[in-house]
Structure 1
Amino acid sequence: MKKFWQLLLTAMLAVLVLAACGNDSKKEETPVDSDQPAETEQEEQAGGNSSSYPYTINDAVGEDITFEKAPETVISLIPSNTEILFGIDAGDKVIAVTENDDFPEEVKDLDKVGDYNVNVEKVISLKPDVVFAHDMMLGSGEEGLNQIRDAGIQVVVIPTAETFEETYETIKIFGEIMDKNEEANKIVEDMKAKVEDIKAKAADITDKKTVLVENSDAPEIYAPGKNTFPQQFLDIINAENIITEEGWVMISPETIVDESPDVILVSYSYVPDVVENIKKRDGFDTVTAVKEDQVIQVDENITSRTGPRLADGLEAYAKAIYPEVFGE
């Protein structure tokens, strides 16, 4: 099941980036008008300590949702939303999450409302004040979200963040909804400080390493190219992506051998002993990353979830690719 979810996520990401290349906005299944983070009527409150109610937010699908007060009971349908809620000290309001949520530790004791397929009946039975969904759920999951709305439960669809700046904005939006502005702003400032520190260290790197970021195993090896979060990571730390195409693309083992990247980052864990398996692929004994023992697995959660740990994901890339600069 974990392999299926990893492959499904990869497919979603591929569609997401293709959508971003055109006029349709960012979503990992069906295009939706969500190019920009959700806007609120109280934008002037950003950076303040208290939210003012009633409070209205226009979400990723153009719905206006008004809160008379900060929600007391919340269900989160995607791990990134959950990590933000706990990060801004609103975890005590979360009453249910999905089976895919694994951070922080407290989520393991919460009710579960499905995985990538939401148990709509259970969500409705728990009667939360609000359900935080995500625009990657639209398409196959849209009918379920409409059922939740029809039951009188507020649903906020969070747009996909594709940059650090959009991630910061999403965190602040959660802070505004939950009346946790101070906590949200602190997270954003800490993330910005870490990113700037990494940028400063990377500025002196002149001998760029070539990198492949694998997101799925052979025979269908998918890797990120331009206009993806991994590409932004690589740009920040002065590394060169061997993928030059837009979005998430499938690359053959033969092409990897020909390109012979200096580093192969493995951003999935559904395959046991994946690093050793990559090294044993036909012809890979000639690849620089294999010869130099630079096939390195990174945590796919911190490097892909657009929440408080995203700057840690950037740091993981930096340490894996340039240990001589970023190593402890």
Structure 2
Amino acid sequence: MLTAAVAATALLLGGCAGGTDEPAATAPSGSAAYPVTAGGVTLERRPERIVSLAPTATEMLFAIGAGPQVTAVDDQSTYPADAPKSELSGFKPNAEAIAAKNPDLVVLSDDLNKIVDQLTKLKIPVLLAPAAKTLDDTYRQIDELGALTGNGDEAAALTERMRTQIDKIVKSVPARSAPLSYYYELDPTLYSVTSSTFIGSIFSMFGLKNVADPADPDGAKSGYPQLSPEALIKANPDLIFLADTNCCKQSPATVKARTGWSAITAVQKDQIVALDDDIASRWGPRVVDLVQSVADSVAKVPS
């Protein structure tokens, strides 16, 4: 089971194993003029040996057509399947091991062990792409990666496609006279997310009420509070979303078997949604799939 710190770190680094069979992106155009500056990084030439130590960044790179430029990814980058997975760790980054890959660009989601300073001293360019707080952060990171890798047109097309798809999905769900409430589970010890997080912002687009918000009203827990069983049962959410199906083997069946949970509306009405951990914990192109899962779940609840 994940502690609060581990749960938050897992989200920052992009989640655990899993994925879907979305087709790979097209080849890069390589048409950008260098030097290029984006995300605080300046590159004198198009990078051809990119190392990604963040699963979300890996997904973004392949989605914009920069896959052929990626020579190594971290051990948690499980998507796409043909990403060149290595022994490198994003949780415990090692500067010497990274440098041994001879990268001309390293992409990270978090500056653990002060790895950015270590790589900078080795004159290795580093783009820090932290966990997104909003969809705009996602679009910005995709655009930055597009600019740095010479795939600006592909990146722009991807973000436009994502915006269009998400807008269409959200508008397809009819408005309700009263908002539905939901509980989003990170692990079986009842760590959750509030509306102030990236995940929370996705659910807010559908006008859903987050039962975890009262557990972290001032943000002291960084939007990742742990709920008590008593508080959760009292909150009585209409929907339960499980983001711990892969990591922790949770399912509608395991939730229904929990003591006292039979009193919860979501349990009584079979409104428990099993999500793919990876898609639910990453803020890259497949966030469209998460939005669709939420839309489908909300639409199934009788008005």
TM normalised by structure 2 equals: 0.84
- Rounded Cα–Cα distance in structure 1 between residues aligned with 2:60 and 2:271: 32
Query: Pick from 281, 285, 300: which aligns with 1:323?
Result: 300
The alignment partner of 2:191 has SS state of strand
1:237 is the counterpart of 2:209: no
Is the 1:202–1:236 contact (alpha carbons within 8 Å) kept by the matching residues of 2? Answer: no
Gaps in structure 1 of 5+ consecutive residues: 17-26, 29-48, 60-64
Q: Is 2:128 the partner of 1:152? A: no
Counterpart among 169, 174, 189 of residue 140 in structure 2: 169
Contact 1:203 1:238 in 2 (8 A): no
Change (3 A) 1:99 1:111: closer
Paired letter, 1:98: D
Of 256, 261, 268, the match for 1:291? 268
Cα drift, residue 8 of structure 1: 4.3
Unmatched tracts of structure 2, length 5 or more: 15-29
Q: Describe the SS at the equivalent of 1:66.
A: strand
Q: Which residue of 2 aligns with 1:309?
A: 286
1:152-301 → structure 2 map (5 Å cutoff):
152-218=123-189, 221-244=190-213, 245=217, 246=219, 247-268=223-244, 269-301=246-278
Q: Which is worse superposed, 203-212 or 294-303?
A: 203-212
Q: Deviations over 1:62-110 (max 9, x none)?
A: xxx3211110110001001100100001011111111111000102x43
Secondary structure class of the residue paired with 2:71 = strand
Following superposition, the deviation at residue 121 of structure 1 comes to 2.1
By how many angstroms is 1:58 displaced? 4.7
* CA drift at 1:228: 1.1
Residue number in structure 1 paired with 2:99: 124
More strand by share: 1
Once the 2 structures are TM-superposed, how far is the Cα of residue 234 of structure 1 from its aligned partner?
Answer: 1.7
Change (3 A) 1:309 1:181: same
Q: Indicate which of 130, 135, 141 corresponds to 2:113.
A: 141
Whole-angstrom distance in 1 between the partners of 2:224 and 2:259: 24
The structural deviation recorded for 1:7 is 5.5
Aligned to 2:150, the other structure's residue is in SS state coil
Q: Which amino acid aligns with 1:288?
A: T
Aligned partners of 1:302, 1:11: CA distance in 2, in Å?
15
Matched-pair contact (CA < 8 Å) for 2:243–2:274: yes
Residue 33 (structure 2) aligned to one of 43, 46, 52:
52
CA distance in 1, matches of 2:212, 2:32: 44
Matched, 1:103 2:72: no
Larger RCO, structures 1/2 (Cα 8 Å, 6+ apart): 2
Amino acid at match of 1:294: Q
Q: What is the total number of aligned residue pairs between the two structures?
A: 280
- Mapped to 2, the partners of 1:84 and 1:153 lie a distance apart of 21
User: Sequence identity of aligned pairs in percent?
Assistant: 26
- Paired position in structure 1 for 2:87: 112
Is 1:229–1:304's contact at 8 Å kept on the other side of the alignment?
A: no
Do the aligned partners of 2:242 and 2:250 also contact (CA within 8 Å) in 1? no
Pick from 53, 70, 85 the counterpart of residue 94 of structure 1.
70
| SS across alignment from 1:249 | coil
Q: Secondary structure at the match of 1:254?
A: helix
